[in-house]
Structure 1
């Protein structure tokens, strides 16, 4: 049975294909970009149109060893046409960027649990739009959530941008909210957006010039799908109103999907994120807290933990009102979580290496017994 092919081929260059990607394409395969994933298969966009490709045994084995190797939305894939006419996803091309969250969960006692494997939410993304809704004039933004998403965005290698969505709902409090959000996002552009009135949509569209790809992340009810529809100029994603009473959003988008825009660029819509675990943090947390990192250079001790040490410039900044105390509390929290995830990852890698050596030693003993 052949793979279902939908009408309309795609210009690969408009999807982000270039010579550097072509250099890594295995012989005998054709390129396509992953638009959506399902169990054991992916919907892809390519020169042959919109089709479904099932994973090869090689891809399944790699994913079994490490879930990060699973195909995800935004990936460039190498497809091989099988004799019966259908396509098989044989391999993934190296990712230029990858937005990965960790497998971290909170226990009932407030501790951390979960595994050390990550989950790739989007790949080969140029811009990460962090959507935070302005629901009511009395509400403040979830700055901790913004900081977490920004840490993952910086770590991915993409450019983060914060969008204060539903900006028409907050009235005169918008300027204060924008300043508050900007204080949690040093070095990051912050824009108010109203997808209904069109305010800020052209500014957002400007980040997608050419064949750039963006992913929109945020909680349920942040207006992500409505923004995608505004960028597309048509309804490409279903939307729902927030729940009456608590103002919280429903999960409208239930899968991640890559959507080419008629005016150029591509956008990935995502379901609302409830759990945002850090994963393999290098400089992501430092980038989010660049204000603290700059202050830390003036601390008396180079290894100052900003937790009561004498001569701490960070604590001094809090005492004189230069730095909000909330920032330091959030910094400590994310630093602890990043260190915890690093220890879990190191432990997993050590265990995997031990298991590999056990297999090698077993084979060596077996070959020794069989030697004449």
Structure 2
């Protein structure tokens, strides 16, 4: 039976980043991943556009996962509007003494970088394709059985295995779930004209619509609607899609053309108040899944990884109960606030109540009129909600 310091179940973007960081901290790490190890086949490494905030860019850079050649589009301005109501907000990074709020990166491109880093990291052993069949927690280790019967063990098992985490469920870690009854349709288009470095989010009664800058003058579109409406939208012709997009967003970008391939994802909220158990921790979507409004999901998971890396660094036993308790306590404020904030936004702007939607419009207007409110919003959206890890601040 082979021994490791840490076993990670799930080698998506967050899990792989955690593996690299823990290996750099001196641990021997095994990564169990079911998908074939090329980014074209990994579900986490698809055509989605990731809005990577400033703190997350710092984390990726500190882990050596942000090479100069990685294509990324800086976001220097965010324009937020409401369809059919008052209230709008325009945020410019220069107003907050920042060069940019973050950057848009295609998940597949970042995935290729992460895969190369895993292969080059001497402290990481990839078990792929492989599945975690069962695990047993004992006093000083976790014994793991893989799908092919292989036995391995470690001092700590980390679940980075997604919203329906087998690790979380098998460990008895409690979580709260809510199905929004919505899905996100993802594709990209070419606008008639669009200023560089600008991201748009438009709130509609059916759900938010985000347009994100991509390389070569294209825009990534995140179109959110009820499940049955997305079912219909996926079957539209390209001409129908463009016509509906122009009707929903408006004429300000001079129309759209050349839509790319469409994909869809169901939207859920999941909250895990205490993401640890004896010799177990869960991170990323395995712990908390959020509505994509304001693009916080990947960033929240990456902050989990950074916090766990820093909490465990230098410890002889990475599964030490005091260390895991410290991790859970340090992450609680950020996780709780981020889940609540995204859930409130998702509900407020799609609530059929006129009073609720009026309140949402007032909220946007207040953020626009009161610099203090906007400053707190921007700091949190950029990933700098306390406590901020050394990696998030730009240390390594």
Q: Same fold (TM over 0.5)?
A: no
Higher RCO (Cα < 8 Å, 6 or more apart): 2
Return the index of the structure with the highest Cα Rg.
1
**Larger proportion of strand:** 2
* TM-score normalised by the chain length of structure 1: 0.23
